[in-house]
Structure 1
Amino acid sequence: MTTKNIVSYGLLLFIPIAIVAERLEWGALTVFGLSAVAILPLAIWLSTATEELALVTGPTIGGLVNAVFGNATELIIALVALKSGLIDIVKASITGSILANTLLVLGLSMFVGGLRYKEQTFNQKVAGINGSTMGLAVTAVLIPALVINTSNIVEPGVIRQLSVVVAVVMIAVYALTLLFSLKTHSYLYDVGVSDHPHGEGESEDKPNLWLWVGVLLLATLGVAVMSEIFVGAVEEAAESLGLTPLFTGVILLPLVGGAAEYVTAVRMATKDNMDLAVSVAMGSSLLVALLVAPVLVIVGEIIDQPMDLNFGLFEVVAVAVAVATVNLISQDGRSNWLEGVLLLSTFALLGAAFFFHPV
């Protein structure tokens, strides 16, 4: 049994403890901490199930499964928070997920991988395509802010309508990126196989399809239940810690929701598979920007919890800085531990700025 499995099994104990804590009202901060820890193993099992199913179903269906469930934890937490009316935290969590995936996940991967290998390489073309697509995502979140800041009076309804239009375009672009990566230009994305313990290509060693479908469904259900408890305590817990909704959404929520990406990407980097590490980090950022954010806008309209894409100017600048830094560092298709430090330092500086940013 691997260390990851031992840890993920052990942390499952926090699920019943978190439920008991919430029922017996042990306090918002305690419930918040316990439910956050309980979400981590569920996120890891969710990620593991999608990896195993990809081995059984092949690259096309496996890619779609990863696209749908790869960031399910972040999406579920955001949907629960949206339903609870925590619009500011939801919008901040979108910013935070992009920052965490581009700077923290990729930075950790380059740093840890660089400590083990002097220099690592990855697919420069794919990194360039992902970087260009992230540029579009930055433009999309910048448009509503630009409209507001360049107009004398803008009705909230107009921004909502504009956000829905932008959301539809972003979803269409994400669908086209799936077509590009899984069908028309799939050869560019042949970045290697999962670190599955069994031999490659041996049909008798393929994972059990229904077992992992069951794990996927149970983990998704578990994340949904824990997210209800987590979100129910997050506002009061943040206030007791003296944290603003902005910092809570940008830093705390992505750290919990993105646990699976951290584990997977760093594990790939230590196996000298930076192609997969970069794919996990950049792919997760694209999914959040082009699918999760617009889906939240549309769902918000449906459930009467309207959320627009009018992000604060500082949030837009932070995302633009993150994307520009990653594009600059990844343009040569090579990485080392110092470049990892640069990305992590950028994340730390932005995190400090969000911590001290006035409400």
Structure 2
Amino acid sequence: MGARRRWVWRLAPLIGLVAALGVSAVAGANSLPPVLRAMLPVVELVVLMAVVFASVHHADVIAHRTGEPYGTLVLTVAVTVIEVALILSIMLAGEGRAGLARETVFSVIMVVCNGVVGLCLIVGGLRYGEQGFRVTGASAYLVVLMPLTALTLILPTFTTSAAGPFYTPAQLAFVSAVTLVLYGVFLYVQTVRHRDYFLSDPGDASADEAPSGGPAPRRFWESVVLLLVALVAVVLLAKHFAGSLETFVATVGAPFEVVGLLVALLVLLPETLAALRAARNNELQKSLNLALGSSLATIGLTIPAVSILAMILKQPLELGVDMHDTVLLVLTFAVSLVTFGAGRTNILPGFVHLVLFATFVFLIFVP
């Protein structure tokens, strides 16, 4: 079974790349039968999900070889590439969507900080009663995540140089630079200066090194190549999936904000499963590294990348959220400070975070 599963992970990126090239050739053909044209978005979604899971699997193999905390960095960078590809593809599709980056980043924060964290606390709390984690590690995530969120999602609504929730090009360049600097300093703290803040067992000196029982060098480099192939396939598939996703949302009459939520859920699904598995194995620190690291990388890498490309392509980029989303952000971080302030947690804060996530989803449909 293990050998068969490895072959599936090896073939998925290659199949995804072939499918992406095939979709590119077929999508423009007007002679397709209506049934095949209707099935094409479903095929795109299935292949895209398979390639996303394959890319995260190979990133996990690389992460296991490099050890923590570098492992979570490999995962977050891979997920960020996928996220940027989807956001830009939808922004540039059709009329363009100036607010998609904002909706996706806001959805990622809500999904991660409330949905994923809430589920992890409940899964771990139901099985173990209480679980411990490093307060210093959680605080490091939050102390960077909160100002980055305010700079990228809240402040644009209140600036006066540009009308509406937009930054001027100068403001956008400054905020992108500050975001990269803050994220870079965080990476330095996480990987060099205070690595022990993010390790499950700070007393184990061997945890600082890459595990000796990791994958063989041949499998490691194989995963590096297949990860690159998978990411290329995702970028190519995203171009056509973007139009299908917008058409689906318009057909069912859902608000545009649902697109950002669907992109966030698709991109975060593999990391969510990994975080839940870690919580079930009583590794809550690893769950928090995956969850909070995803939201931090989303702002620290996705916003600057999308901003730079938007300026190059002269696409408008709407970043500021409205007042009720601002309230949700402030409430989320206030609850997170209480949740991660004591070093131990149980199911109660987990249910509180899930209620906030449910409120976020409800307000999309009933604003």
Q: TM-score, normalised by structure 1?
A: 0.84
Which residue, out of 43, 50, 55, partners 1:41? Answer: 50
Bigger mean CA offset, 160-169 vs 268-277: 160-169
- The aligned counterpart of 1:307 is 317
String of CA shifts for 1:233-271, please: whole Å, max 9, x gaps. Answer: 12211111111112321x222111111211110111111
Residues 81-92 of structure 1 mapped to structure 2, 5 A cutoff: 81-84=90-93, 85-92=96-103
CA distance in 2, matches of 1:323, 1:156: 22
Cα 1:157–1:265, aligned 2, differ >3 Å: closer, same or farther?
Answer: closer
CA distance in 2, matches of 1:27, 1:161: 47
* Structure 2 residues without counterparts, runs of 5 or longer: 205-209
2:110 corresponds to 1:116 = no
CA distance in 2, matches of 1:206, 1:340: 40
CA distance in 1, matches of 2:215, 2:53: 25
Q: Which amino acid aligns with 2:198?
A: Y
CA distance in 1, matches of 2:215, 2:310: 46
CA distance in 2, matches of 1:157, 1:124: 36
**Any idea what SS the aligned residue of 2:314 has?**
coil
CA distance in 2, matches of 1:356, 1:333: 36
Which residue, out of 265, 271, 285, partners 2:275? Answer: 265
String of CA shifts for 1:80-113, please: whole Å, max 9, x gaps. Answer: 2233322222321111111111111111212222
Cα 1:154–1:62, aligned 2, differ >3 Å: closer, same or farther?
Answer: same
- The aligned counterpart of 1:191 is 200
Conserved in 1, the CA contact under 8 Å of 2:81 and 2:231? Answer: yes
Residues 21-40 of structure 1 mapped to structure 2, 5 A cutoff: 22=27, 24=32, 26=35, 31-40=40-49
- The aligned counterpart of 1:245 is 256
**Any idea what SS the aligned residue of 1:147 has?**
coil
> What displacement does 1:335 show?
2.5
CA distance in 1, matches of 2:221, 2:307: 34
Which residue, out of 288, 312, 321, partners 2:298? Answer: 288
Conserved in 2, the CA contact under 8 Å of 1:144 and 1:163? Answer: no
- The aligned counterpart of 1:326 is 336
Q: Percent identity?
A: 23
Q: Which amino acid aligns with 2:297?
A: L
CA distance in 1, matches of 2:258, 2:306: 20
Conserved in 2, the CA contact under 8 Å of 1:121 and 1:334? Answer: yes
- The aligned counterpart of 1:137 is 148
Conserved in 2, the CA contact under 8 Å of 1:119 and 1:334? Answer: yes
- The aligned counterpart of 1:209 is 220
- The aligned counterpart of 1:171 is 180
CA distance in 2, matches of 1:166, 1:240: 36
- The aligned counterpart of 2:81 is 72
Q: Which amino acid aligns with 1:145?
A: T
- The aligned counterpart of 2:357 is 347
* Structure 1 residues without counterparts, runs of 5 or longer: 194-198
> What displacement does 1:354 show?
1.2
Q: Which amino acid aligns with 2:60?
A: E
String of CA shifts for 1:2-56, please: whole Å, max 9, x gaps. Answer: 7x959x76x9699688966956465887544443333223222222222211233
- The aligned counterpart of 1:196 is none
> What displacement does 1:158 show?
5.9
- The aligned counterpart of 2:190 is 181
Cα 1:50–1:157, aligned 2, differ >3 Å: closer, same or farther?
Answer: closer
* CA RMSD, 1 decimal: 3.3
> What displacement does 1:334 show?
1.9
Conserved in 1, the CA contact under 8 Å of 2:102 and 2:321? Answer: yes
> What displacement does 1:276 show?
0.4
- The aligned counterpart of 2:207 is none
> What displacement does 1:165 show?
1.3
Cα 1:204–1:280, aligned 2, differ >3 Å: closer, same or farther?
Answer: closer
CA distance in 1, matches of 2:326, 2:167: 20
Which residue, out of 77, 96, 100, partners 2:107? Answer: 96
Cα 1:86–1:190, aligned 2, differ >3 Å: closer, same or farther?
Answer: same
Q: Which amino acid aligns with 1:135?
A: M
Conserved in 2, the CA contact under 8 Å of 1:329 and 1:339? Answer: yes
Between the two proteins, the alignment pairs up a number of residues equal to 347
Residues 58-69 of structure 1 mapped to structure 2, 5 A cutoff: 58-59=67-68, 62=71, 64-69=73-78
CA distance in 2, matches of 1:356, 1:300: 30
Cα 1:158–1:287, aligned 2, differ >3 Å: closer, same or farther?
Answer: closer
Q: Which amino acid aligns with 2:280?
A: T
Conserved in 2, the CA contact under 8 Å of 1:44 and 1:260? Answer: yes
- The aligned counterpart of 1:161 is 170
> What displacement does 1:348 show?
0.8
> What displacement does 1:182 show?
0.7
Q: Which amino acid aligns with 2:348?
A: L
